[in-house]
Amino acid sequence: MQNISRVDTHKSISYRDITHVCMTPSLYALLQYLLLFDYDTVAHHTFYFTGYAVSEDIASRLPGKWISIEQTAGKKSVLRVIKKWHLHLVSRFRYPFIQKAQIFAFDVGFVSSLIGNRPYALLSDGPLGITQNMQSNSAEYLRQQKKKQSLQGRIEEFLYGPVAVCGWGNNSQCQAFYLTEKNDAIVFQDKPLYIASLQQLWKNASPELKEYVKYVFDVTKEDVQILSSKKVMFLTQPMVKDGILTEEEYLEVLNTIFSHYDQSQLLLKLHPRDNFDYKTHFPQVTVYEKKVNMQLLVLLGTNVERAVTICSSSINSFPESVEADWFGVDLHPKLKAWFGEMVPPFRQYNQM
């Protein structure tokens, strides 16, 4: 097996060798892309644009660029607009391969600035993500339709292209969908759908590719052991970071959830963008802070007996032998307003 090193993967790639581009702020989409192709393609012929949900540490192991444009609100949103516009202008000259390479993207946030008017294939952001977000009554779809008719939406579409206003493949530039399970959405039309679960992709991956994936995400046996050290795992979500709930509201929701479990047996798997201070409020729980895909850890094997979440689709990644507790968005009216009618897990679960 070829030795995997940062020198081999990060410094040896030349722009003239780039045939593929992966654009994603999502760890899930990044993992999916890495498993879609062979080792040589993902390590030596792909340039990666990653951001906010993908840590700089992970990005440093890829031949690519980490983009420091976060999802923000309030005063910081002005700075975000400036950064996106700068990226849109500069990328055309600094990364000329974008104009010819095949683009695979999860098309939200900064990614629209890079895609511009180029065709692309949509990567998954999580199990049933398209179903959840692209129904005629979905909160995200309705937000997009409203924005498309607004002055702000028209300006953004003029500056960046249609993807800036209508993401999740809801535009004419999206040529194909790469999904990890069957979905139901109004944006598919007659476009090609390629469906392969992460389990299938992992099973079919070469030993060399598997080692590369573990190298990129810096996953060790110790990580799996830590995540198997407690019986109950809570999958967090960036409710405060994304401005969905205040700290006080989120704490109230957490107290309700944690009251169902022995906190000494509770392990929290942090969402990559979640920075809530769990340790201060819940000193008895164990917090796993490493920004690693839950899906990858499941593929490598964990011994957790019960997975718990508010409404994270990552709960679908666990095998049926693991009990799944789903609390849903009825815990708080702001959750209901933000997420709308959630698609429940497509595996067996306990409605809490």
How much is the pLDDT for 232?
92
* Tens digits of residue pLDDT in 135-144: 888 888 888 8
How much is the pLDDT for 99?
93
CA 129 to CA 316: how far, in whole Å?
11
Are 264 and 284 contacting, i.e. CB atoms less than 8 angstroms apart?
Answer: yes
How much is the pLDDT for 12?
58
How many angstroms separate the first and last alpha carbons of the chain? 47
Within 13 Å and on the Cβ side, how many CA atoms surround 109? Answer: 22
| Domains of the chain by start residue, with CATH | 6-202 (no CATH), 219-351 (3.40.50)
How much is the pLDDT for 76?
56
How much is the pLDDT for 113?
86
Task: Report the residue count for the chain.
Answer: 352
Residue 195: count of CB within 10 angstroms of its CB: 13
Which segments of the chain have a pLDDT < 70?
Answer: 1-12, 70-78
How much is the pLDDT for 341?
75
- DSSP for 234-299, written as a single string: EE---TTTTTSS-HHHHHHHHHHHHTTS-GGGEEEE--TT----HHHH-TTSEEE-----HHHHHH
